[in-house]
Amino acid sequence: MRLCLDKSWFDGKDPYCYRDASGSGMTYTGPGEIWWAPYDNRPGTTNSYALPDYDPRGLLLPFAEGKTSIFRCPRAREWGIKSWEYLVPQVSYAWNGVTNGPAGKRLSDLANGNGASHVSVVWDHVIEPHCWTGFPTARRWNDPIWDTAFVHYPVQWHLGVCNFLFCDGHVGGITHGEIGKGMFYVNEQ
């Protein structure tokens, strides 16, 4: 989840950045862009490198006492340019950005759907602070049987499990075989 607060971004009529033409949700929208976690998305940055003048901002940062470290798993690593190099991501968790997912829903909507204890909102993730597949109008979850499961659900960080934060506030370690479609949608699709 991010906000695009610049008036120049679709004349200020797209505060949730849905009109990101890249389909990845990563097009930089201007200096008013703010993510759920502190993430520098300006040109010249990478998943593991913020520009030196970056002043960390994030929608949830005030609730974490301003500590950016809470948004980085101490075991999180991604491959660097050199095959032996591991880099620490700016944010090592992904926000559930699928269409019909929990973002922007009331707790009662979640409870009446798949249930707040069954729908994930954030989980371990190697790249980018959000996750989905497809264009913004049809964002789908990433099935762990794909060859990119180590990126979307990095069980290598935690002895075979990927940590998920669910909408009711509990965290669970889930193996690739236990990850299911219903964990990403308010009502299973």
> pLDDT tens digits for the chain (189 residues)?
787 777 777 777 777 776 666 666 788 888 889 999 999 999 999 888 999 999 999 999 999 999 999 999 988 887 665 655 678 889 999 999 888 899 888 888 888 888 889 999 999 998 889 888 776 667 888 888 877 888 889 988 899 999 999 999 999 999 999 999 999 999 875
Which runs of E-coded beta strand occur in the chain?
Answer: 2-4, 33-35, 78-79, 86-87, 93-96, 120-124, 130-131, 162-166, 171-174
Assess if residue 189 is contained within a domain.
no
Residues 6 or more apart whose Cβ sits within 8 Å of residue 188: 114, 181, 182
Model pLDDT, residue 146: 79
Assess if residue 42 is contained within a domain.
yes
The model carries a pTM of: 0.86
- Note whether 49 and 57 are within 8 A (CB): no
Model pLDDT, residue 126: 87
Model pLDDT, residue 85: 67
Model pLDDT, residue 180: 92
- Note whether 32 and 60 are within 8 A (CB): no
DSSP code of 66? T
Distance of CA 125 to the CA centre of its chain: 7
Element holding 149 (H helix, E strand):
helix 149-152
Assess if residue 96 is contained within a domain.
yes
Assess if residue 31 is contained within a domain.
yes
Assess if residue 124 is contained within a domain.
yes
Distance of CA 189 to the CA centre of its chain: 20
d(CA 59, CA 174): 26
Model pLDDT, residue 151: 85
d(CA 18, CA 116): 25
Assess if residue 164 is contained within a domain.
yes
Assess if residue 148 is contained within a domain.
yes
- Note whether 164 and 120 are within 8 A (CB): yes
d(CA 27, CA 9): 11
Assess if residue 188 is contained within a domain.
no
Sort strands 120-124 and 162-166 into parallel, antiparallel or unpaired. antiparallel
Helix (H, G, I), strand (E, B) or coil at 117: coil
Closest residue by Cα to residue 140 from 109, 183, 105 = 183
What is the residue range of 49's domain? 2-183
Model pLDDT, residue 133: 77
Kindly report, residue by residue over 112-135, the tens digit of the pLDDT: 888 889 999 999 998 889 888 776
Instruction: Work out how many domains the chain is built from and give that number.
Output: 1
